[in-house]
Structure 1
Amino acid sequence: MMMKRVAVAAVTALLVFSGANAYAYGTKSTSLSNGTLYIHGDDGCLVSNNCSLYYSATEYKKTGGSRVTIQLAMTTGEELFLDSQKTAVDGSDIKHSWGGKKKSAVPDCSIAGYMKASTGNYYTPNLSVC
């Protein structure tokens, strides 16, 4: 039974961090005029066998328009996690994984993806991580 859990956790971790779209909590997105902003979430029970954690990533896929400076982020409602600034051009797929975060630090059990851009600020819908 332990071998099966380890294998499931390893496969799930591989899927989360390789960019495949197999997340236990799922994905929420916001369509923008020149791309899509995503928040991905996965359960720590599956990823690291630590059920007190969740794993998440914010992603921006740019599908058109001119060059833009972005900063990906993730918010829990109480805390904002920011990545460094990046430049997005047509065809860019920019993603930042936030690693394992404590579920207990998310007051309403939901997170949102956030992007600061030279054209404005954008959010995804909330994603439940509890």
Structure 2
Amino acid sequence: MIMRALAIGAVAGALVVGGTAAAHAVTTSTKLSNGTLSFTAVDGSAVNGDSSVFFASTAYKKTGGSTVSVRLEMITKDGRFGSGDAYKSVSAGQNVITQWGGISKSYYASDCKATGSMWATGSVYYTPTVHFC
């Protein structure tokens, strides 16, 4: 299942709503040999008072190595979500982020858990799973 990403702003890989970091956001990350893959999720009740939705972002900060094409995704027990623009080219010193906004918890993450993932050069990398509500 692929959903189109909704950009709602980012600062250093954190989920941002209205110009400030979202309260009660849960972030996890995985250190890779040439960068860091991170994932942030937050219950909608902390963002806009809507407890039926959640917001999430997957980010990759590349710190070394050659340029690669990456696809950032989010995985829940009810689906896998990728960006509508698919692969992004990223070089050392660059950050890429894909964000999802207003996703139905009951339909797509009924257990309130999600994981970030990245496809890069024939490999898949994952963040630890977060529990966001």
The 8 Å contact of residues 45 and 51 in structure 2, kept in 1 or not, is answered as yes
Q: Could you say what secondary structure the match of 1:101 adopts?
A: strand
Matches within 5 A, 1:16-35: 16-17=16-17, 23-35=23-35
Higher alpha-carbon Rg: 1
Matched positions, count:
116
Structure with the largest fraction of strand: 2
Structure 1 stretches lacking a partner, 5+ long = 1-14
Structure 2 stretches lacking a partner, 5+ long = 1-14
Cα distance between partner residues in 1 of 2:100 and 2:47: 13
Cα distance between partner residues in 2 of 1:32 and 1:88: 14
Matches within 5 A, 1:83-122: 83=83, 84-104=86-106, 105-122=108-125
The 8 Å contact of residues 35 and 60 in structure 1, kept in 2 or not, is answered as yes
Q: Which residue does 1:7 correspond to in 2?
A: none
Spell out structure 1 runs of 4+ moving beyond 4 A.
17-23
In the superposition, the TM-score normalised over structure 1's length comes to 0.80
1:126 Cα deviation after fit: 0.2
Q: Which has the higher contact order (CA 8 A, sep 6+)?
A: 2
Cα distance between partner residues in 2 of 1:18 and 1:36: 25
Q: Which residue does 1:48 correspond to in 2?
A: 48
Q: Which residue does 2:75 correspond to in 1?
A: 75
In the superposition, the TM-score normalised over structure 2's length comes to 0.79
In structure 2, do the counterparts of structure 1 residues 46 and 23 end up closer, same or farther at CA, with 3 Å as the change threshold?
closer
Structure with the largest fraction of helix: 1
In structure 2, do the counterparts of structure 1 residues 19 and 128 end up closer, same or farther at CA, with 3 Å as the change threshold?
farther
Alignment deviations for residues 1-59 of structure 1 (CA, whole Å, 9 cap, x no partner): xxxxxxxxxxxxxx614886655132000000000001111121121221111110000
Q: Give the root-mean-square deviation of aligned CA atoms.
A: 1.9
Q: Which residue does 1:126 correspond to in 2?
A: 129
The sequence identity of aligned pairs, in percent, is 41
Cα distance between partner residues in 2 of 1:67 and 1:16: 27
Q: Which residue does 1:4 correspond to in 2?
A: none
Q: Could you say what secondary structure the match of 1:16 adopts?
A: strand
Q: Could you say what secondary structure the match of 2:16 adopts?
A: helix
